[in-house]
Chain A
Amino acid sequence: MRQRFWFRPPYAALAGGLLSLALLLAVATAPADPPFIVVASTTSTEQSGLFGHIAPRFTEATGVRVRVVAVGTGQAFAIARAGDADILLVHDPDGEAEFVAAGFGVERSPVMFNDFVILGPANDPAGIAGAQSAVEALQRIAAAQVPFASRGDDSGTHRAEQRLWAAADIDPAGRWYRELGSGMGPTMNTAAGMDAYVVADRATWLNFHNRQNLVILFQGDEVLFNRYGSVLINPERHPHLKHDLAIQWHEWLVSAPGQAAIASYEINGEPLFFPNAD
């Protein structure tokens, strides 16, 4: 075996490695981010494209950037309880009231609403298109034992669906009732794939492109209203959060420019969310 330079190449490589590590750490910890807030919100607001429409307008008005973590409403509450988000924008009025009552939040303001729709295969095997109410539509699905895809993820939409089943006095179970444990989009992808019925929020549906055989079969019942609220987090519980910036966002959402920004978001000429601040 030939004589080796033992030290130089390996130590040079090691030094190089350490140097690059130091550089990377320097990059990773680089300061001077512009001011921003973290908003814990729902998949419907993100996947429908609403945030992409309104957040830049808020940033333009205030210089504050908006970082959206889009998860199910249940998880959004958990993130906010742990102090990992500066503010909430979710759609579960009962859960929001509980969150405030338990001392995690200090104020809840209505921001906007839209509605849930019941989607299903175009040939409508359960015949829900002629139902008089959303509750009756679900009763027909359960009676026909046709596949129904449920979010099953403790999201706002899942909670709304659960309330509808409770109102219909049905405990959905059996092979026809499929709990997917996924977000709205993945649930619609699966429903489209297995010709299942599904309760969806209209905004995500309008922005959804893999519809295959899915159509809206039932809509318009008042119980299908979907209300979104902004919830300020209690500064006493989490003093490290950016409450001043969060309040700016909260107030902008319910202000005239914020409400106008929400109203102006349309897909194919159809508005997705209707502002309803007090």
Chain B
Amino acid sequence: MDENPLTQAFRLILELDPALVGIVSLSLKVSLSAVAVAAVLGLPLGALLALYRFRGRGAAVASLNALMGLPPVVAGLMIYLLLSRAGPLGSLGLLFTPTAMIIVQTLLVFPIIAALARQVIEDLWDEYREQLQSLGSGRLRAIPTLLWDARFSLVTGVLAGFGRASAEVGAVLIVGGNIDGVTRVMTTAIALETSRGNLALALGLGIVLMLLGLLINISIYVIGEQTKRRLG
């Protein structure tokens, strides 16, 4: 081999190799989309579960918490069977597309965001309850306020969701098919290079993925700190 594959991985980054840039941006697009969809659905659901008492609520909370551990390969299989031409949503033709990958990652991320939001909002509600109720506000109308006031804690849940989405390989491999230039993301590219025996290049790509995650987390931390300071 002419070049140390680790050096090769970093050269690809520094030269902004088009294939690598394509893979990285697809990874970001898929995972960020999944996290956005999961947050829009999961945060309100978590808040509803926190504020309302109904029959079966305990079961709902326990199921949601258990779904945080849904094995990605099982999620992948479920979405695969759903989207396959032989399955109920087959006519949409979504199998082996980035959309299918967003759907499966949403399924994986949603329970994490909803379950953590449920816990955070429940704690906050205990604290705010009297005050909000004395202002004459109903529970439903309290939800946006609670979500907004808990935003710094909720961001951690959303980041945990992003971590799960971007680190996951089993589900996107099954529903995406790891098609070069279409559905190949960082994790499936790493799996492919590993099966080619290009262990160092695979590790190099893995380091790129981890740096990316670090960069996102640093940015969000800095933004959060600045916002807190501004709010005093």
Contact = CB atoms under 8 A, between A and B. Distances in A.
A82 B86 contact: yes
Contacts of A11: 144
B123 to A, nearest CB: 16
A67 B36 contact: no
Given A28-B99, A68-B180, A84-B95, A1 B197 contact: no
B102 A28 contact: yes
Interface stretch (B53-61, B188-196, B215-223): B188-196
A43 B95 contact: no
Interface string B51-82: 00000000000000000000000000000000
Residue among A28, A185, A209 with most chain B CB within 10 A:
A28
B77 to A, nearest CB: 12
Given A83-B84, A208-B196, 17 more contacts: A9-B148, A10-B145, A10-B147, A21-B40, A24-B36, A28-B33, A28-B102, A38-B96, A38-B177, A46-B192, A67-B177, A67-B182, A71-B177, A82-B84, A84-B96, A209-B199, A211-B197
Contacts of A83: 84-86, 90
Given A69-B96, A69-B177, A209 B196 contact: yes
B179 interface: yes
Interface of B: 1, 29, 33, 36-37, 39-40, 84-87, 90-91, 93, 95-96, 98-99, 102, 131, 144-145, 147-149, 151, 177-180, 182, 192, 194-199
Given A13-B148, A238-B85, A24 B194 contact: no
A144 to B, nearest CB: 26
B1 A209 contact: yes
Nearest to A83: B85
A6 B142 CA distance: 9
Interface in A28-69: 28-29, 38, 43, 46-47, 51-52, 67-69
Contact of A17 (B36, B179, B195, B198): B36
B195 A67 contact: no
Given A67-B179, A68-B179, A69-B179, A186 B144 contact: no
A4 B194 contact: no
Contact of B40 (A1, A18, A52, A209): A18
18 contacts: A6-B145, A10-B147, A13-B148, A17-B36, A20-B36, A21-B40, A28-B99, A46-B192, A67-B179, A69-B178, A81-B86, A82-B86, A82-B87, A83-B85, A84-B85, A84-B96, A185-B196, A209-B198
A47 to B, nearest CB: 6
A70 interface: yes
In the A-B complex, list the 8 residue pairs whose CB atoms are closest, starting with the nearest: A185-B195, A210-B197, A10-B144, A83-B85, A69-B177, A10-B148, A82-B86, A209-B197
B197 A240 contact: no
Contacts of A28: 33, 98-99, 102
Residue among A68, A69, A81, A183 with most chain B CB within 10 A:
A69
Given A29-B99, A69-B179, A240-B93, A82 B196 contact: no
Contacts of B149: 4
Contacts, number: 101
Contact of A4 (B96, B145, B192): B145
Contacts of B131: 1
Nearest to A240: B85
Nearest to B87: A82
A262 B129 CA distance: 71
Contact of A184 (B93, B177, B195): B195
Interface string A123-155: 000000000000000000000000000000000
A24 B37 contact: yes
A219 interface: no
